[in-house]
Amino acid sequence: MQLENTAALVTGGASGLGAATAKALAERGAKVFALDLKDGIDQAPEVAGVTYVAADVTDPEQVRTAVATAAGAGVPLRTVVNCAGIGPSMRILGKKGVHDLGLYAKVVQINLIGTFNVLALASEAIAETEADENGQRGVIVNTASIAAYDGQIGQAAYSSSKGGVVGLTLPAARDLAQYGIRVCTIAPGIVETPMLATVSEEFRTSLAAGVPFPRRLALPEEYAKLALAIVDHDYLNGETIRMDGALRMAPR
C-alpha cells in the first residue's frame, strides 16, 4: 500500500515507538497525526510532517475527534499504528498484599481497550474512503509484547493486556476484511524506550545479554521499520510478528 499523499494516525506518538513510527511515516510522504496525552505532546520535539493531537486513547469522544482530524486532512486516512501503552508491574500476591484491582483495570483499559477504541473508530473512517486499484483502504498495526507469551513475575496485568491485543488481531482482520482493511500486530521484545531511561546502564546491559542475537536492546527505529514493512506488504494480515532477537523471557 502506498503511503505518499495519504494520512496516518499514530497513538503514543510523542515518544518511544510512536515517535519513531510517526517520523518514519512522515519521511515516506504521509501526513502524520501523532496522538498522545497533552503532557507528552508538550515535551515532544517538532518533526516535519507530523501534527500532534492531544487525546486519551480510552476516551471515545477524544479519539473520534482525533480520527476526524486525520480523516479530514484532504488525503485518505490509510494507516493507523497503535503504540500507546503503560507497563507497571505488581505481583498477584506480594509483601504488600494482593494485586491492586484498580491498577490491573487501568493497564487493561489503556493497553487493550484503548487499542480497540482507536482501531474501531479509525476503521469506521477508513471504510468511508475510496479503495485503491487493489481494493485496499488501509492497514492498522497494533502493539503487543513478547510478555503476551512469556509474561514474567509481576507482569500479570501487562501480559493480560498484551495477550488481549494478540487475541484481537485475527478477528479484527476478519471483521474488517470486507472493507479492505488489514490488521497486524507487532510483539516487541526489550526496546530502548523512555520506559528504560530510569534504569541503570548495568541493568540495561544485563537485559541485552539475554538476547540470543543481536545481543543488544532493540531500537524504536527498528519497530518503525517493521511497521512500515507491514504497510508495504499487502499480503500480511491477521498476524502477530515477534521482534525480539529470538528472546524468550525467563520467569524473572
pLDDT, tens digit, 9 for 90 and up, residues 120-130: 999 999 999 99
pLDDT at 190: 93
pLDDT at 198: 64
pLDDT confidence bin for 232, thresholds 50/70/90: very high
pLDDT at 73: 97
pLDDT confidence bin for 230, thresholds 50/70/90: very high
pLDDT at 15: 96
Strand partners for 53: 35
Per cent of the chain over pLDDT 70 is 98
Q: Is 158 one of the annotated active-site residues of the chain?
A: yes
pLDDT at 16: 96
pLDDT at 202: 81
CA-to-CA dists, residue 66 to 22, 71, 128, 215, 251, angstroms: 15, 9, 16, 39, 39
Three-state SS for the chain is CCCCCCEEEEECCCCHHHHHHHHHHHHCCCEEEEEECHHHHHCCCCCCCEEEEECCCCCHHHHHHHHHHHHCCCCCEEEEEECCCCCCCECCEECCEECCHHHHHHHHHHHHHHHHHHHHHHHHHHHCCCCCCCCCCEEEEEECCCHHHHCCCCEHHHHHHHHHHHHHHHHHHHHHHHHCEEEEEEEECCECCHHHCCCCHHHHHHHHHCCCCCCCCECHHHHHHHHHHHHHCCCCCCCEEEECCCCCCCCC
pLDDT confidence bin for 199, thresholds 50/70/90: low
Q: Which domains does the chain have, with CATH numbers?
A: 7-243 (3.40.50.720)
Q: Point out the catalytic residue in the list 158, 179, 223, 235.
A: 158
For the stretch 144-172, pLDDT in tens is 999 999 999 999 999 999 999 999 999 99
Distance CA 185, CA 199 (A): 27
pLDDT at 207: 84
What rounded mean pLDDT belongs to the chain?
96
* pTM as predicted: 0.96
For the stretch 88-116, pLDDT in tens is 999 999 999 999 999 999 999 999 999 99
For the stretch 26-85, pLDDT in tens is 999 999 999 999 999 999 999 999 999 999 999 999 999 999 999 999 999 999 999 999
